[in-house]
Chains A and B, each alone.
Chain A
């Protein structure tokens, strides 16, 4: 066993029990709103593939609607892989391009950066999904995993937006394990994770770390409650760069705003979400 696996072990993942909890809780959360149906934006990647499979198992394929929402630069493989998982899930699917919508805006924005373009695409996809959810009397199912939410590798009010997210408490390695269990096609399981905002983009290259290493560090910082210096010592022992721990911890902190509702300037005695604390499932 590699030193890294020894020093920063990941927990055994009980796939059967996780499947039971995720599908049961997802079904109940959707059904108790009275709607019972969801839309899922299918990118061709592993996260949305797993959400789609969980949704189909939880609600029945007839209550799940997949949407391919490509831009001109989206890889042709993305659509191909999306169609493969849609076929496995047995759900209805539609393609809605955001190319014209996006280009109309891009044409007016001189020197727009790839990052801004990527965020526009993510938010246009959100607009499409929320509108289609209204058309279908459905809710939007989320597709952001825990690793990317913690690191802020996602677009606020874009791909992070959803009503219920079945994979939001799963680290990337758990997404992979569950996806294999759910029968997500190999073409999706094997390929390098990518936001697919431009050609050849890769999550791991962009962040500069492998998901395996990121998950190990995040798990020890969060679930095991180790301090950054403690994780640094473990990383050194495993022959890894110790500064990875503080790099990731700072990144978690810097992206906290993406995981919260906007800041409200307090002036009253009962401020929303501060004293006015009510569950989301109020009356459900």
Chain B
């Protein structure tokens, strides 16, 4: 079983062209599952372009992807329109069909981000049964909310896909370098993989939009910890090894004594209404 992370370079707003280029990349890249970044079909800094760049998941534009998905699972970030809303979504194609669609839940609207202005928020976080087994998707900012990482773990996901559009930035004194963004991602997903014995798969857009660099990083964190990565911009193709999970089991870790019922009760007991009022 092989996975491929593909740091795609979209043309901003050119959805039909991008889908054709995604199909070309999907065709020529080996792998049983191919993961493309967040909003790969449209580009990230859309603003009002979302109106032109959003497509229905049923649109015939997806036909070439459906075709290629007969032989491999393909996960693509796209702006989709459903009913009266646009969503920042990940579409999973397999066996010639769209089999799963996840809508990003947390739409960052701080710092340089303005997603909630243009997108509606997803409200569920199911996992799906794919070639990797039980698989969850956390789109970029979703992975910055540990509650969602916990939710896909509690739902039984063994693999978590993290398609991302993460801008390279950060000079702050307390962090380690200009690309504090790069380091933060690895730290974060390593903690999840270490705590939950899941395998994480991360891929960023590989583009520059309005002067903002999306660095094309791709890496995987093995269950229980251990990071493998590719140089930024290049597709990362690697074997999924069942022994990585059995080794985590042999080694043992915090996942063994996870008490889901207890955690659920602790959440319920916490005075969340008070926290809601305290939000800045």
Q: Are the CB atoms of B49 and A282 closer together than 8 Å?
A: yes
Give the bracket for the number of chain B residues in contact with chain A: 20 to 34
Question: Closest residue of chain B to A219, judged by CB?
Answer: B171
Q: Are the CB atoms of B45 and A281 closer together than 8 Å?
A: yes
B256 at the interface (CB under 8 A from A): no
Known contacts A18-B178, A223-B171: A276-B211 contact under CB 8 Å: no
Of the candidates B13, B168, B207, B215, which one forms a contact with A282 in the assembled complex, judged by CB atoms under 8 Å apart?
B13
B261 at the interface (CB under 8 A from A): no
Chosen A-B contacts, 11 in total, with CB atoms closer than 8 Å, are A9-B173, A11-B173, A12-B173, A17-B178, A25-B213, A279-B46, A280-B210, A281-B12, A282-B49, A283-B12, A284-B11
Interfacial residues of chain B within 37-61, with CB under 8 A of chain A in the complex: 45-49
Q: Are the CB atoms of A28 and B14 closer together than 8 Å?
A: no
A207 to B211 Cα, complex, angstroms:
29
Q: Are the CB atoms of A25 and B179 closer together than 8 Å?
A: no
Considering residues A24, A29, A282, which has the most beta carbons from chain B within 10 angstroms of its beta carbon? A282
| Interface residue ranges, A against B (CB under 8 Å) | 9, 11-14, 17-18, 21, 24-25, 28-29, 32, 164, 169, 219, 223-224, 275-284
B209 at the interface (CB under 8 A from A): yes
Q: Are the CB atoms of B209 and A279 closer together than 8 Å?
A: yes
A29 to B209 Cα, complex, angstroms:
8
Question: Closest residue of chain B to A220, judged by CB?
Answer: B173
CB distance from A276 to the nearest CB of B (A): 7
Q: Are the CB atoms of B178 and A279 closer together than 8 Å?
A: no
Q: Are the CB atoms of A281 and B210 closer together than 8 Å?
A: yes
Mask for B1-39, Cβ within 8 A of A = 1, else 0? 000000000011110000000000000000000000000
CB distance from A1 to the nearest CB of B (A): 14
Q: Which residues on the B side are within 8 Å of A21 (C-beta)?
A: 168, 178-179, 213, 215
Q: Which residues on the A side are within 8 Å of B46 (C-beta)?
A: 279
Q: Which residues on the B side are within 8 Å of A219 (C-beta)?
A: 171
Q: Are the CB atoms of A223 and B172 closer together than 8 Å?
A: yes
Mask for B164-201, Cβ within 8 A of A = 1, else 0? 00001001110001110000000000000000000000
A12 to B173 Cα, complex, angstroms:
7
Q: Are the CB atoms of B209 and A17 closer together than 8 Å?
A: no
A284 to B11 Cα, complex, angstroms:
5
CB distance from B43 to the nearest CB of A (A): 8
Of the candidates A18, A164, A277, A282, which one forms a contact with B211 in the assembled complex, judged by CB atoms under 8 Å apart?
A164
Known contacts A11-B171, A13-B171: A278-B48 contact under CB 8 Å: yes
CB distance from B66 to the nearest CB of A (A): 26
Known contacts A14-B178, A224-B172, A284-B12: A279-B208 contact under CB 8 Å: no
Q: Which residues on the A side are within 8 Å of B209 (C-beta)?
A: 279, 281
Known contacts A24-B213, A277-B48: A283-B11 contact under CB 8 Å: yes
A32 to B211 Cα, complex, angstroms:
12
Q: Are the CB atoms of A283 and B179 closer together than 8 Å?
A: no
A28 to B45 Cα, complex, angstroms:
16
A145 to B140 Cα, complex, angstroms:
31
Known contacts A18-B178, A21-B213, A25-B208: A277-B13 contact under CB 8 Å: no
Q: Are the CB atoms of A13 and B178 closer together than 8 Å?
A: yes
Known contacts A13-B171, A17-B177, A224-B172: A279-B49 contact under CB 8 Å: yes
Q: Are the CB atoms of A279 and B12 closer together than 8 Å?
A: yes
Q: Are the CB atoms of B177 and A277 closer together than 8 Å?
A: no
Q: Which residues on the B side are within 8 Å of A277 (C-beta)?
A: 47-48
Q: Which residues on the A side are within 8 Å of B14 (C-beta)?
A: 283
A12 to B212 Cα, complex, angstroms:
21
A17 to B178 Cα, complex, angstroms:
7
Known contacts A224-B173, A283-B13: A28-B207 contact under CB 8 Å: yes
A280 to B13 Cα, complex, angstroms:
11
Of the candidates B45, B48, B171, which one forms a contact with A276 in the assembled complex, judged by CB atoms under 8 Å apart?
B48
CB distance from A124 to the nearest CB of B (A): 27
Beyond known contacts A9-B173, A284-B12: 13 more, CB 8 A cutoff: A12-B177, A14-B177, A14-B178, A14-B179, A17-B178, A21-B213, A25-B208, A279-B12, A279-B13, A280-B210, A281-B45, A282-B13, A283-B13
Of the candidates A18, A169, A279, which one forms a contact with B210 in the assembled complex, judged by CB atoms under 8 Å apart?
A279
Of the candidates A14, A17, A24, which one forms a contact with B208 in the assembled complex, judged by CB atoms under 8 Å apart?
A24
Q: Are the CB atoms of B13 and A28 closer together than 8 Å?
A: no
Query: Can you list the 4 inter-chain pairs with the closest CB atoms, starting with the nearest?
Result: A277-B47, A28-B208, A14-B178, A14-B177
A12 to B170 Cα, complex, angstroms:
11
